[in-house]
A = this chain, B = another copy of it.
């Protein structure tokens, strides 16, 4: 029997041999060739092994977007160490919990987040390792680098509806299949330059780096999303591909009235439907927008709507990529849970057989998202998970915020919902039922939450409630909570 994948094949060594001088990464005016990236990754790998880590061990990474982030990624691969990228917006307490959750022995960090890393590592009982000091080209250990470039690679935390984040096991095979599926959809130009302005600590950003390595192309990394900087890069730095969420696209178009050059092959927009108005504005300025649906558990992209199909299928996320199958658990044309199958579907949640069993049943990934497939095979996503709030590209699970609120002695119960917001897509809002006789002010709750949750999870709006609206079976009726905050602006 043959396989379509080569275990033991070092992606980075291949690229350093096949395209030694080709730019692998551009970041902040610095250009790393594949050879330079290869050396940087080796330096990280040597440090990981030198620190006593063994293949199969886990490490966490707390770093802003940078070329060093990518060196850490492939350095871990080369050492055979599984890497859990952490969201730098989390509090040290949240970070420490995640470090412990995956049993990371080491927390890699950059200069920017050194303080948070030291604090989180201390409370998690892990050591730390700075990644930006790693240069030079260490010799391979005798017998070669121990990384097998197959099986578990990334442990990507994804918030769960039950409140606590779960670590999705993404494999080398997943990333390879995702890179192939992308190539067989939008093509690959060997001169491609894919701009990563979304966080590398999420799958949407990180998979740009893996894809570019596999495809032998260039990833251009921005430290964060700056609409003017993105516009400048698209117009003057030969960027061919870009991934954003709808609010980012809108802010780019708002930033100035200039049009874009034909060198921009595609703008992949995920994380929610793109309005007709936004689509038309983008098209009018020369941006070919591809609407996509994806999720961490499927290594990002699952479906894409091509520009040609967009006008006739507004709000749809298109059709599955090559190798990927999508179904909806409902009668034809009716809404139901979106199911995904194929080689990009993850290997399960780390150390969580129950959650894994819920997610991976009958050969399908049960996404929890609600969608509908039209007679022509186009998928529409009606709700990203049941209750998920997506604010500025960050996923926020109401249950987690509710749990933090309900942990406060003054609070009896809380309902958290997302409200439409022009700038952020959604903002978080909370309805609170206080304990009888307790003080009902927001100030004390806000301080409480800021100690426990990342700032983006803290509700921007709130209101008092006597009781929460529930069905007879006791299920919270979030649509009625949303209505309390009034119609969409």
Contacts and interface: CB of A to CB of B under 8 A. Distances in A.
Nearest to A318: B18
A316 interface: no
A452 interface: no
B2 A347 contact: yes
A158 interface: no
A229 to B, nearest CB: 27
Contact of A324 (B6, B177, B183, B188): B6
A17 B319 contact: yes
A187 B187 contact: yes
Contacts of A184: 179, 183, 188, 214-216
Interface in A10-36: 11, 14, 17-18
Contacts of A18: 185, 319-320, 322
Nearest to A346: B2
A442 interface: no
A87 B377 CA distance: 40
Interface string A299-339: 00000000000000000000110111100000000000000
Contacts of A5: 3-5, 177, 323, 343
A214 B322 contact: yes
A113 interface: no
A341 B5 CA distance: 11
Given A18-B319, A180-B180, A216-B322, A6 B342 contact: yes
Interface stretch (A168-176, A382-390, A456-464): A168-176
Contact of A323 (B6, B188, B319, B343): B6
A101 B215 CA distance: 40
Given A2-B171, A17-B377, 9 more contacts: A1-B151, A4-B4, A4-B177, A5-B323, A180-B183, A187-B189, A187-B192, A187-B215, A189-B189
A307 to B, nearest CB: 12
Nearest to A175: B4
A2 B189 contact: no
A487 interface: no
Contact of A9 (B2, B171, B323, B377): B323
Contacts of A319: 17-18
Q: Which of A179, A214, A322, A325 has the most CB of B within 10 A?
A: A322
Interface in A182-224: 183-190, 192, 214-216
A276 B190 CA distance: 25
B347 A1 contact: yes
Interface residues of A, number: 44
Total identical chains: 2
A473 to B, nearest CB: 37
Nearest to A173: B4
A345 interface: yes
A18 B303 CA distance: 10
Contacts of A185: 18, 216
Contacts of A6: 177, 323-325, 341-343
A319 B13 CA distance: 13
A4 B176 contact: yes
Contacts of A192: 187
Contacts of A151: 1
A236 B377 CA distance: 36
Contacts of A323: 5-6, 9
A419 to B, nearest CB: 36
A342 to B, nearest CB: 5
Contacts of A342: 6, 9
Given A319-B17, A319-B18, A323-B9, A4 B216 contact: no
A14 B345 CA distance: 18
Interface in A395-446: none
Nearest to A14: B322
Contact of A4 (B1, B180, B190, B325): B180
Given A183-B180, A325-B9, A173 B2 contact: yes
CB-CB nearest 8 A-B residue pairs = A4-B5, A4-B173, A6-B323, A183-B183, A187-B188, A180-B180, A4-B177, A187-B190
A346 B184 CA distance: 23
A174 B4 CA distance: 6
Contacts of A324: 6
8 contacts: A2-B171, A2-B173, A3-B3, A6-B341, A6-B343, A17-B319, A17-B377, A189-B189
Contacts of A189: 187, 189
